[in-house]
A and B are shown apart, each in its own frame.
Chain A
Amino acid sequence: DSGVTQTPKHLITATGQRVTLRCSPRSGDLSVYWYQQSLDQGLQFLIQYYNGEERAKGNILERFSAQQFPDLHSELNLSSLELGDSALYFCASSVEHRTGELFFGEGSRLTVL
């Protein structure tokens, strides 16, 4: 158990819809990262927050947005969903904001039909 909690574990929705994925980082970790894992693209970095502020942006689509709240939990919002958005979405956390030593959650599997 990494200490990172993600909900929901599975989500099935239709094209055009909007979903919100939630992440609670390990106790004491200030940094939260979102990654997308798909069969063809592998693990892709989406976005990082540190203590409530956006720190780094990766290959995140404009239809996607994220935020980190004062209690340090984070949400990833995916809108106008397309079939190609079906993937595993991982949240990870770390104490520092410049480290590669991440603790990953179990992921949220999104299926868009």
Chain B
Amino acid sequence: GQQLNQSPQSMFIQEGEDVSMNCTSSSIFNTWLWYKQDPGEGPVLLIALYKAGELTSNGRLTAQFGITRKDSFLNISASIPSDVGIYFCAGQNGGGADGLTFGKGTHLIIQP
């Protein structure tokens, strides 16, 4: 099946730093999404991208849908303690017939 390669696996950063993570695929997706999961919770949608080249922001978060449709990145500016968690990219094909394919996640740890 399809696989998403998400990197880095983990990040140790200082509060206030900017964060960048990305996701690549060997196949094309028509939709890219970014979710965040806190401990003991289910994933929560952060940003959804529907067009190749699209750049979308949600507060301090910015995500882009790669022009090749095979990648996406997520940036977090001026990180704060509540940004700690696991960030997942997810891809979906047209029609949503196959459910979402998730990356393995980027574990963000913020050092005070």
Q: Give Cα distance in the complex from A12 to B95, angstroms.
A: 37
Q: Give the number of A-B contacts (CB < 8 Å).
A: 58
With A43-B88, A101-B48 as contacts: A33 and B99 at CB distance below 8 Å: yes
Q: Are B31 and A100 in contact (CB under 8 A)?
A: yes
Query: B87 on the interface (CB 8 Å rule)?
Result: no
Q: Mark interface residues in B85-99 (1 if CB within 8 Å of A CB, else 0).
A: 000101010011111
With A42-B105, A43-B88, A59-B1 as contacts: A101 and B33 at CB distance below 8 Å: yes
CB contacts (< 8 Å) of A105 on chain B: these are 42
Q: Mark interface residues in A58-100 (1 if CB within 8 Å of B CB, else 0).
A: 1100000000000000000000000000000010100001111
Q: Which of B1-60 contact A (CB under 8 A)?
A: 1, 31, 33, 40-45, 48
With A42-B105, A43-B88, A59-B1 as contacts: A99 and B96 at CB distance below 8 Å: yes
CB contacts (< 8 Å) of A4 on chain B: these are 42
CB distance from B102 to the nearest CB of A (A): 4
From A2, A58, A100, give the contact of B48 (CB < 8 A): A100
CB contacts (< 8 Å) of B45 on chain A: these are 101-103
CB contacts (< 8 Å) of A33 on chain B: these are 99
With A42-B104, A43-B43, A100-B31 as contacts: A58 and B96 at CB distance below 8 Å: no
Chain A residue, CB-CB nearest to B29:
A100
Chain A residue, CB-CB nearest to B42:
A104
CB contacts (< 8 Å) of B96 on chain A: these are 56, 97-100
Q: Are A42 and B102 in contact (CB under 8 A)?
A: yes
CB distance from B25 to the nearest CB of A (A): 14
Chain B residue, CB-CB nearest to A41:
B104
Q: Which of A1-45 contact B (CB under 8 A)?
A: 2, 4, 33, 35, 42-45
Q: Give Cα distance in the complex from A105 to B41, angstroms.
A: 7
